[in-house]
């Protein structure tokens, strides 16, 4: 449990650091805190302050989920939703850096909660009963787009479109063999659920760039924390773009009714365009930030080397290397550059 003296010390440190940064463009340094001594409420305070300071969009996802009522009147139909999971239960680490890493997963998973809960809340605002239809609320960072699901086919049907070289890390989870998840059962709408959640979670990871700039010691180990966080997720942008486009490609020839329904769904196309554009820009922003980090480390006397598999940082011939997934990313983007995908992408984004 967090004792009263420790709680007061943390709050004072937090206020000092926050108010000292008011006049500066970048967020202030986050106060040092021994999170191993915090109880559940203390962890919640640290999580909320980290998100409020560095990732307001991530905090908005958590706040809106927590504020959504569990009972909603949707045009005369009462919709009951299970209580929102406590985000603290998704935090496994008991170090500050570990919590920063866990928050990417927290925001990802809570984006899924958002997609359903806020969809029901929007139907309630519109006084629209859901009937037997499925709805998704896609959060793009700038707006929330309510989408009604049209007919789908099971995602695993399209697995033959993927040669072995394109069956990257997430393929068995979301395409084949996959589990009984929304990405399978809700077809392209479930795939966009995941694309959206990966985008918002990865955006939270990049938002924490200022945490590493202001609150860490500029060591290779510190920067590898940031790079590892981003490298786990950035290339999901290319994976899910390929999954969604191949879903359409397969539907066009094998399920023309499904294809027509998707392409005629203006709200879906709007949501896809905003998520896809936002995620693609985020990846380029990450690459630019990574180049700046490498410059910063070289100026501090470190050697930095990167190929399509590993990023290495060291000094005096002693290097630490980590996987960067550039090989997978480049293979996926090379495939996506082909006319069959570019034509589909252009049509979908009209």
pLDDT at 27: 78
DSSP notation for 279-341: HHHHHHHHHHHHHHHHHHHHHTT-EEEE-SSEEEEEETTEEEEEE--HHHHHHHHHHHTSHHH
pLDDT at 219: 94
- Among 14-28, 146-160, 334-348, name the one with the lowest average pLDDT: 14-28
Tens-place pLDDT, residues 239-259: 999 999 999 999 999 999 999
Number of other residues whose CB lies within 10 A of the CB of residue 143: 10
Residue that is written with structure tokens 């496994």 in the block: 92
Number of other residues whose CB lies within 10 A of the CB of residue 123: 23
pLDDT at 14: 52
Cis bond before residue 177 (omega within 30° of 0): yes
CA dist., res. 190 & res. 196, Å (int): 10
pLDDT at 2: 45
Overall pTM > 0.75: yes
Alpha-carbon dihedral angle through residues 71, 72, 78, 81, given to the nearest 10 degrees: -50
Question: Residue 231's Cα: distance from chain center in Å?
Answer: 12
Residue 241 and residue 336 in contact, taking contact as beta carbons nearer than 8 Å = yes
pLDDT at 23: 39
Averaged confidence pLDDT in the chain: 93
Q: Answer yes or no: is pLDDT of 20 > 70.
A: no
Counted domains in the chain: 1
pLDDT at 220: 95
- β-pair type (303-306, 310-315): antiparallel
Three-state SS for 147? strand
pLDDT at 28: 80
Tens-place pLDDT, residues 63-98: 999 999 999 999 999 999 999 999 999 999 999 999
Question: 201-228: buried (b, 16+ CB within 10 Å) or exposed (e) per residue?
Answer: bbbbbbbbbbbbbbbbeeebebbbbbbe
Number of other residues whose CB lies within 10 A of the CB of residue 180: 7
The boundaries of the domain holding residue 340 are 4-348
Residue that is written with structure tokens 């045009």 in the block: 75
The confidence band for 179, taking pLDDT boundaries of 50, 70 and 90, is: confident
Residue that is written with structure tokens 């995941």 in the block: 194
């Amino acid at each position: 449990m967090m004792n009263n003296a420790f709680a007061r010390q943390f709050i004072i440190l937090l206020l000092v650091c926050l108010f000292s940064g008011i006049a500066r463009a970048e967020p202030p340094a986050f106060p040092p805190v021994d999170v191993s001594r915090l109880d559940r409420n203390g962890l919640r305070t640290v999580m909320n302050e980290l998100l409020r300071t560095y990732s307001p969009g991530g905090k908005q996802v958590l706040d809106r989920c927590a504020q959504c009522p569990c009972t909603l009147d949707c045009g005369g139909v009462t919709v009951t939703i299970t209580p929102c999971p406590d985000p603290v239960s998704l935090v496994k680490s008991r170090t500050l850096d570990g919590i920063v890493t866990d928050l990417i997963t927290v925001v990802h998973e809570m984006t899924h909660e958002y997609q359903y809960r806020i969809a029901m809340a929007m139907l309630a605002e519109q006084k629209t009963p859901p009937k037997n239809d499925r709805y998704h609320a896609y959060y793009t960072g700038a707006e929330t787009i309510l989408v009604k699901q049209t007919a789908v086919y099971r995602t695993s049907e399209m697995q033959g479109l993927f040669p072995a070289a394109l069956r990257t890390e997430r393929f068995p989870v979301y395409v084949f063999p996959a589990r009984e998840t929304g990405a399978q059962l809700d077809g392209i709408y479930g795939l966009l659920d995941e694309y959206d959640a990966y985008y918002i979670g990865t955006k939270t990871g990049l938002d924490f760039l200022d945490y590493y700039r202001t609150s860490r010691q500029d060591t290779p180990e510190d920067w590898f924390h940031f790079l590892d966080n981003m490298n786990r997720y950035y290339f999901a942008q290319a994976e899910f773009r390929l999954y969604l486009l191949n879903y359409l490609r397969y539907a066009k020839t094998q399920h023309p009714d499904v294809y027509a329904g998707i392409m005629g769904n203006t709200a879906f196309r709007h949501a896809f365009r905003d998520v896809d554009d936002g995620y693609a820009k985020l990846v380029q922003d990450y690459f630019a930030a990574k180049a700046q980090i490498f410059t910063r480390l070289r100026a501090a006397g470190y050697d930095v080397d990167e190929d399509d598999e590993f990023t290495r940082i060291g000094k005096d011939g002693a290097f630490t290397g980590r996987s960067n997934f550039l090989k997978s990313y480049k293979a996926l983007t090379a495939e996506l550059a082909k006319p069959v995908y570019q034509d589909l992408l252009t049509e979908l984004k009209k």
